[in-house]
Structure 1
Amino acid sequence: MTQIDLGNIRINWRGAYNSATNYVRHDAVSHQGSSYIAKRTVSAITPVQGDDWDLMAAGTDQLTQEGDLLIHNGSIPARLARGGNAQVLQMVGNQPAWRDQSLDPSRRVWKLAKVNGMGGWYTRVYLMADGTIKACGYGGNYSNGDPNGSHIYLPNRVATDNPDVRFVDVFSGGMQHYALTADGEVWSWGYNNYGQLGHGNTVNLAVAKRIEYFVQNNIQIAKVIPGRPNYYDHACAYFLTTDGRVYACGINSNGNLGNGTSAHQYTPIRCGALTDIVDVIVSGLPHTVYAVQDNGSLWVWGYNAQGQLGLGDTTVRQTPILNPAFNNVIKAVPSCGYRTDGASPTGHGLVLLDDGSIWTAGYNGYGQLGHGDTTNRTSFTQITSTENFTDIFAGDGRYPSSGGITDQGEVYLWGNNGYGQLGTGNTTNQLSPFKPNGSFQGNVSRVRIGGGASYEGVIVQSGDELWAAGYSGNANIGINSTAGTNNTFQRVLGQSGVIENWDCFGQGTSAWGLGVLYDDGRVDACGENNSYGETGTQSSNLHDVKTLKNVIF
């Protein structure tokens, strides 16, 4: 018979643990379904892994009721008590936990308001699972839908002319908002100083009203693209139809509505004779507009003082012009470059082609064009890179950053770095694409740049994690900091579920933050909150929210 030499292993099995028994080193016992071995002489010390006992084999006797779960808490197996009704199992950090999920569809969020880079001037808007709209925050100009113009600290339903109408999408500009029905009707409410609500007047609305022009002319809308807000909410809105035409209304100082004039429009008008458009992107004031056609063509119009239309000059265009440089565009992003006071804008633009290359034009004082210099360009010029890019993005203010995501899931950033938003470990501007360090690299799927005239922060999604760098003076980026400068990427804290969607919300200066929608219909928020309660996380005693906290519906 084969013999195995066990050396110095000596296990003395003592049976079930008894608190009245003395145990010495190498005594082994069973306790609550697990087996433990004494590491030294012990008496009346309940077996748990630590200085006195070592775990030999884990059991399941710690499960005490039907529905309990056995998890690993990072050190040992542990009991997770069964959840209650309407609770769902979510990962919180690295461990599962039960979280409440409302069974009431009027309290469960379906979609966050879609914004154009950033939106919601001290206001946050939600589409609920029952098709109604809720909003909270700033009440001026009826932005939050309150009929008294009062600020609302927790989300409240926005009234509609027809109380039975239900929506499938919602969009936020600054203090003006738009909701879309399944049959392509658009309803709007809020600030209307330039007729951006589309009702033929400049009357602010607390109650959402249908835009009758589209109904009367049998026009169905697929998407609303509001102008990105800055400190002064001089707004316009664009409407992409289901058959690829473009309409617009609101401010038109630079011919940005594309109808050949600079007259403001209170009722939607058609932008040139565009057809087969698949996307429209508009900057903040002064507005530059790019439209991508289904054949990859790029149409441009509006403000052009720095050559951001890429046409070789600095002439404003009041009707859409085909940029002859491209026929394979998949995305284009204009940036207006405004200061807090709205003066001396310095805009630029990025274009992504289907071969993975990025082309840029316009103002380049901070390297935002990515060419290794600070020379302005009035024609689109390709960024020198060996990477194959699949997405692009840009900040909208006077000191903007730019960036792209590669087909390897890596993010590259360049341009202004005044708040450390590029994650370089310093605040030095980057004139060429720079790849920040971080474990998020290799799995990046989405990036947003919050802020506006300045005060920028960069938010990166990698897998199911959010990372952030840059301005957080108003707790904007959820890293438990109110420091103005954060020059390395850190995890956004407080995430409490599986991310369905997220974005940056706020006005175009320092008053902004994050909103995160989870797959169970809950929402967390952080950032600026101390004046108007726009995060919806506090019913009173308002203060900025430093990490993601649950929005109270």
Structure 2
Amino acid sequence: MTDGSIRAWGRNANWKLGDGTTYARSYPARTAFPPGFPGAAKLYYSQDTNGYCIDKNGQLWGWGYNGYGQLGTGNTTNQPVPYNMSANASNSIAGKTVIQLALNCGTEGYNSTLVLCSDGTVHACGYNGYGQLGLGDTTQRNNFVQLPVLSGITQIAAGRERYTAYYAVKNDGTLYSWGYNANGQLGDGTTNQANVAMPRAGGSLAGKTIVKVFGAYVHAFALDSTGALHAWGTNDFGQLGNGNLANQFTPVQVATNVVDVYAGSHDQPLTYLKKTDKTLWACGAGAYWGNANGSNSGNFVQIPVGNTVVKAVHGGTGSYNYGAALLENGTVYAWGYNGNGALGLGDATNRSSVELVRIAQRRVVDLSSYGSSSEQGLVFLLDDGQVLASGYAGEAQLPEDDSETSYVPYPVIL
């Protein structure tokens, strides 16, 4: 919101909406920050469990489930309304400016929280069963603790599973990895867990300057300074884009001239990447044509949306994959699974090819997806500040009285 407040709606298990209740909200509810809150600058959610925001002063707030101490409160008491973690003197982030979070999916509660501060330090709390906190042990932390090995860090990332791997990029282009490694997602050629952050990934990353890392389900991608993309980890649906469906325990180069990656999707993963010429490419699971191909593909294939792509989103878990792309002219194209009208195309028919989402007389300036499995949809931000949504509404994901599926983009009353 322009006033810095947060509005949230939909499923509210574990106090995820931060309004002090666990009631599903069919209309946007105001997240209950205390008086004097300076306004939200960045917003993060961990699926089903927690909400977080960095405020305009660089302080970190969190709410919801806290069974593993992931909210940095010093205990495991759940937080129905936002809690200021930066104000807790027992947290190592106290007095620092927070600039980024990295979170695992948290669908089964094994939550940990990784924080990057403006001074290049990294801090962690929460679940640590596989050394995810990078502190040299597997002991849970209920307060934030600084990772002693890391300094000069410019970006952090997390895998998308419950037991996750974490990644950090240093200002000299070095990539660090640690945590869960059963699928080779640390990139060190093994499946051994690691409880200390180290520059482990080898293979095609040797000698490369890394500028960004992308955590995915049980795999990962790294972009180097030349625009080359490298991938490693599980590859059962061809999601690495290296030409086959074999797992890869050390990084291999899979593409060039890349500027962004949109990776993830639990269970049957797919990957989208944007190139320097603003084209969009896909590989991985072909269920419901989520990769615009229809079959599992280990090779990147161009999605026919032209060469003015601003961003792409993917949605769905299991086999319910779909995608959408926002173009520079403010139009959106969508494809894939559409069982609950997720694509906003006026029906529930799956799409094997891209199709224009019709939004009358307005430009879309941002695009996101929501939900999981077959219960999903799209959210559109228009150039006049209006928000529209399409898709599943069974747990009030769409702000309507009747909680019915919307097959076309529907106005959200904020």
TM-score (norm 1): 0.69
1:482 to 1:171, Cα distance in 2 relative to 1, 3 A: same
- The aligned amino acid for 2:166 is V
| Cα drift, residue 457 of structure 1 | 1.4
In structure 2, which of residues 13, 34, 41 is the aligned counterpart of residue 140 of structure 1?
Answer: 13
Larger Rg: 1
In structure 2, which of residues 316, 320, 331 is the aligned counterpart of residue 465 of structure 1?
Answer: 331
| Cα drift, residue 520 of structure 1 | 2.7
Q: Distance in 2 between matches of 1:378 and 1:215?
A: 34
Please, which runs of 5 or more residues in structure 2 have no aligned partner? none
Aligned residue for 1:122?
A: none
Residue 166 of structure 1 contacts residue 181 of structure 1 at CA under 8 Å; is this kept in 2? Answer: yes
| Cα drift, residue 422 of structure 1 | 1.3
| Cα drift, residue 272 of structure 1 | 4.2
Q: Does 1:392 align with 2:269?
A: no
1:481 to 1:329, Cα distance in 2 relative to 1, 3 A: farther
- The aligned amino acid for 2:381 is L
Q: Does 1:332 align with 2:213?
A: yes
Aligned residue for 1:47?
A: none
Q: Distance in 1 between matches of 2:13 and 2:222?
A: 37
Residue 208 of structure 2 contacts residue 225 of structure 2 at CA under 8 Å; is this kept in 1? Answer: no
Q: Does 1:156 align with 2:22?
A: no
Residue 313 of structure 2 contacts residue 367 of structure 2 at CA under 8 Å; is this kept in 1? Answer: no
Aligned residue for 2:285?
A: 416
Q: Distance in 2 between matches of 1:274 and 1:319?
A: 10
CA RMSD of aligned residues (A): 2.1
Aligned residue for 1:242?
A: 118
- The aligned amino acid for 2:147 is C
- The aligned amino acid for 2:412 is V
Deviations 1:441-480 (A, max 9, x none): 2111212222234422122122112212222223223223
In structure 1, which of residues 162, 165, 168 is the aligned counterpart of residue 40 of structure 2?
Answer: 168
Aligned residue for 2:225?
A: 354
Local SS of the residue matching 2:44: strand
Q: Does 1:534 align with 2:364?
A: no
Q: Distance in 1 between matches of 2:207 and 2:184?
A: 16
| Cα drift, residue 233 of structure 1 | 4.2
Residue 331 of structure 2 contacts residue 363 of structure 2 at CA under 8 Å; is this kept in 1? Answer: no
Local SS of the residue matching 2:352: coil
Q: Distance in 1 between matches of 2:339 and 2:271?
A: 21
| Cα drift, residue 304 of structure 1 | 1.3
Deviations 1:400-458 (A, max 9, x none): 1123211111111111111201112xx2111211113x3x2211121222223442212
Local SS of the residue matching 2:29: strand
Aligned residue for 1:103?
A: none
- The aligned amino acid for 2:338 is S
- The aligned amino acid for 1:330 is V
In structure 1, which of residues 497, 502, 514 is the aligned counterpart of residue 362 of structure 2?
Answer: 497
Sequence identity percentage = 27
Residues matched between the structures, number: 403
In structure 2, which of residues 101, 110, 129 is the aligned counterpart of residue 253 of structure 1?
Answer: 129
- The aligned amino acid for 1:389 is V
Q: Does 1:381 align with 2:257?
A: no
Local SS of the residue matching 1:419: helix
Comparing 318-327 with 356-365, greater Cα deviation is found at: 318-327
Alignment of 1:123-134 (within 5 A): 128-134=1-7
| Cα drift, residue 216 of structure 1 | 7.8
Q: Does 1:186 align with 2:60?
A: yes
In structure 2, which of residues 242, 246, 253 is the aligned counterpart of residue 371 of structure 1?
Answer: 242
Q: Does 1:203 align with 2:203?
A: no
In structure 2, which of residues 151, 158, 175 is the aligned counterpart of residue 298 of structure 1?
Answer: 175
Alignment of 1:309-320 (within 5 A): 309-320=186-197
Comparing 185-194 with 166-175, greater Cα deviation is found at: 166-175
In structure 2, which of residues 407, 410, 413 is the aligned counterpart of residue 546 of structure 1?
Answer: 407
- The aligned amino acid for 2:252 is T
Residue 355 of structure 1 contacts residue 388 of structure 1 at CA under 8 Å; is this kept in 2? Answer: yes
- The aligned amino acid for 2:40 is V
Q: Distance in 2 between matches of 1:434 and 1:465?
A: 22
Q: Distance in 2 between matches of 1:172 and 1:269?
A: 21
| Cα drift, residue 496 of structure 1 | 5.8
Q: Does 1:451 align with 2:316?
A: yes
| Cα drift, residue 151 of structure 1 | 1.5
TM-score (norm 2): 0.91
Aligned residue for 1:271?
A: 147
Residue 72 of structure 2 contacts residue 91 of structure 2 at CA under 8 Å; is this kept in 1? Answer: no
- The aligned amino acid for 2:116 is L
